[in-house]
């Protein structure tokens, strides 16, 4: 049997290059600072806080484990002072230093006081005391920094405070019975930065695969997919069974199964057009006893497309080619229409 060569060339109407066009960054990023506490029974507890961070803005937080993260002494590491800055390129610069529970509480008191008008002399004295406690607590503790380039929904673990049990589990239970304090079940606590998924517009894309036979009749399949900017949605159609005629020294007609599939990835740019990346792939398998064979021939093409809302783009899938013979098969084409639904 002759070898069929698939050329990944697809003729498209209204497809344009998006080179040089960059999606506008969101005015605010939703950044979460979390303190997951890992328990020896496999569960994870802990808290988190979320901030809306603008370009160039710095936020300071004091995440801690509180009473959930039991430590041997009140001066042991129980949280962090975190300073997080969003740079102009949408990256995050993070600096952190460990603190005790008392240091974290002092830092939180300082934050609350900075957001309130000046109070009485007693309140000012408490403010100075909190500042002194925090500065003394930070002295000599472990610290670190990181430059993060997180994608929407991404996360990064920056630090981990481990808890080592210094007594046996039986002794811990005995101590708990005497002190009436539950034994510690924590094995460690992490400092985690998460970039929450932003509220994004949703693009709905309709795709029609049109199979035109040699007698002029046609059959259409329809798919509809949805995705948000930066994330691809996959589509695929049922196999199209059609004859493929090989015309050389002799004529040979065989049944083939043609499969069309691909991806649509929208981009959210600041004008009225709809921009998306479109991947169109196809494969061809000879049909033996009604079943497509495994030795399929594959190929694909990618396009950056632009369209007005509800404009239909036409993509013609070219005929199959062979180096030594002429091939004739039914025509396949793809129609694409997209619009924002949110």
Most confident of 179-188, 270-279, 295-304: 270-279
165 and 254: one domain? no
In a domain, 1, yes or no: no
Percent of the chain with pLDDT over 90: 27
Among the candidates 195, 215, 240, a domain finishes at 195
Q: What are phi and psi of 150, to 5 degrees?
A: -85, 145
Which pLDDT belongs to residue 26? 56
Burial class of residue 122 in the structure, from the number of CB atoms within 10 Å of its CB (0-12 exposed, 13-18 middle, 19+ buried) = exposed
185 and 302: one domain? no
How far apart, in whole angstroms, are the C-alpha atoms of residue 63 and residue 59? Answer: 12
Among the candidates 170, 195, 220, a domain finishes at 195
Task: Say how many domains are in the chain.
Answer: 2
* The pair of three-digit structure tokens given for residue 107, joined into one six-digit string: 């830092």
In a domain, 5, yes or no: no
In a domain, 3, yes or no: no
Give the pLDDT mean for 27-47.
84
80 and 55: one domain? yes
- What is the domain extent for residue 128? 29-195
- Per-residue confidence band for 2, with pLDDT thresholds at 50, 70 and 90: very low
Whole-structure pTM value:
0.49
179 and 225: one domain? no
Query: Between these two residues, 336 and 183, which has the higher pLDDT value?
Result: 336
131 and 207: one domain? no
pLDDT surpassing 90 at residue 121: no
165 and 263: one domain? no
pLDDT surpassing 90 at residue 93: yes
Which pLDDT belongs to residue 6? 35
190 and 227: one domain? no
In a domain, 4, yes or no: no
Q: What is the pLDDT of residues 58-84, one digit of tens each?
A: 999 999 888 766 654 567 888 999 999
113 and 34: one domain? yes
């Amino acid at each position: 049997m002759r070898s069929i060569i698939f050329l990944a060339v697809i003729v498209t109407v209204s497809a344009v290059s998006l080179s040089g066009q960059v999606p506008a960054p969101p005015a605010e990023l939703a950044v979460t600072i979390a303190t997951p506490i890992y328990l020896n029974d496999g569960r994870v507890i802990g808290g988190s806080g979320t901030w809306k961070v603008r370009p160039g803005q710095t936020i300071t937080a004091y995440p801690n484990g509180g009473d959930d993260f039991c430590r041997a002494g009140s001066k042991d590491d129980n949280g962090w002072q975190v300073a997080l800055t969003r740079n102009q390129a949408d990256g995050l610069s993070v600096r952190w230093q460990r603190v005790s529970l008392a240091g974290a509480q002092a830092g939180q008191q300082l934050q609350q006081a900075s957001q309130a008008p000046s109070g009485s002399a007693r309140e000012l004295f408490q403010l100075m005391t909190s500042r002194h406690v925090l500065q003394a607590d930070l002295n000599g503790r472990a610290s670190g920094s990181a430059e993060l380039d997180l994608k929407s929904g991404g996360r990064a673990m920056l630090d981990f405070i481990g808890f080592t049990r210094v007594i046996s589990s039986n002794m811990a239970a005995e101590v708990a019975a005497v002190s009436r304090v539950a034994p510690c079940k924590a094995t460690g606590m992490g400092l985690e930065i998460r970039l929450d998924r932003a509220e994004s517009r949703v693009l709905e894309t309709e795709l029609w695969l049109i199979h035109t036979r040699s007698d002029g009749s046609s059959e259409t399949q329809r798919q509809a997919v949805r995705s948000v900017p930066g994330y691809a949605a996959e589509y695929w159609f049922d196999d199209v069974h059609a004859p493929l005629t090989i015309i050389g020294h002799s004529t040979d007609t065989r049944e083939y199964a043609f499969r069309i599939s691909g991806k649509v990835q929208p981009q959210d740019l600041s004008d009225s057009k709809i921009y998306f990346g479109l991947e169109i792939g196809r494969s061809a398998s000879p049909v033996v006893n009604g079943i497509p064979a495994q030795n399929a021939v594959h190929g694909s093409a990618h396009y950056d497309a632009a369209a007005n809302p509800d404009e239909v783009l036409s993509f013609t899938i070219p005929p199959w080619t062979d180096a030594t013979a002429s091939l004739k098969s039914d025509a396949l084409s793809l129609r694409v229409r997209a619009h924002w639904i949110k």
